Amino acid sequence: MKILLIEPPFERFQGVKRSFFTLGIAYLAGYLAGQGHEVKIYDAEHSRQSEYTPYAEAAKGYIKYIEGLNNKDHPIWQEVDAQIRDFAPELIGISCPTVKYEPALKIAAIAKEISPEINVALGGCHPTVMAVEVLGDDNVDFVIRCEG
């Protein structure tokens, strides 16, 4: 199966630069590839350069996150759309802590707009605890709780 694993954007809307890598979906990708699936990680959050914005600085840009979240023409949402179209996955798995719940749902909506045939699964700490509420969103097909 073609599976796209996505780390949603949050701090990136604020102009924050971090060169971290998302260990959770990296583990999932390794396991799925070992099972014979075609897997791609799309990290919509982090920079591949070695960069770091101090947290005190990052907090000042929160309004930019709200603006970006609600602007469907924002370049980051266009990038999300292009990544999904380009890879044409059968399943999208989105990593979702609470701060990234809104961006995760936005990605789910973009995916379903591209094709209702794409299955959308959310995992991570927020869906683990709030599974029933998350499954109430029309664009979420599955929630995977605890260790993916």
Binding residues for ligand B12, rule: CB under 6 A, are 10-11, 20, 22-25, 27-28, 45, 93-95, 97-99, 121, 123-126, 144, 147-148
Cβ at position 136, least distance to ligand B12 in Å: 18
Q: Which of 77/103 has CB closer to ligand B12?
A: 103
Selection from 12, 29, 138 nearest residue 89 by Cα: 29
Query: CB-side exposure of 24: number of CA atoms within 13 Å?
Result: 19
Q: Which of 20/67 has CB closer to ligand B12?
A: 20
The label of the residue with tokens 């929160």 reads 62
Cβ at position 97, least distance to ligand B12 in Å: 3
Q: Rounded to a whole number, what is the distance in angstroms from the first to the last CA of the chain?
A: 17
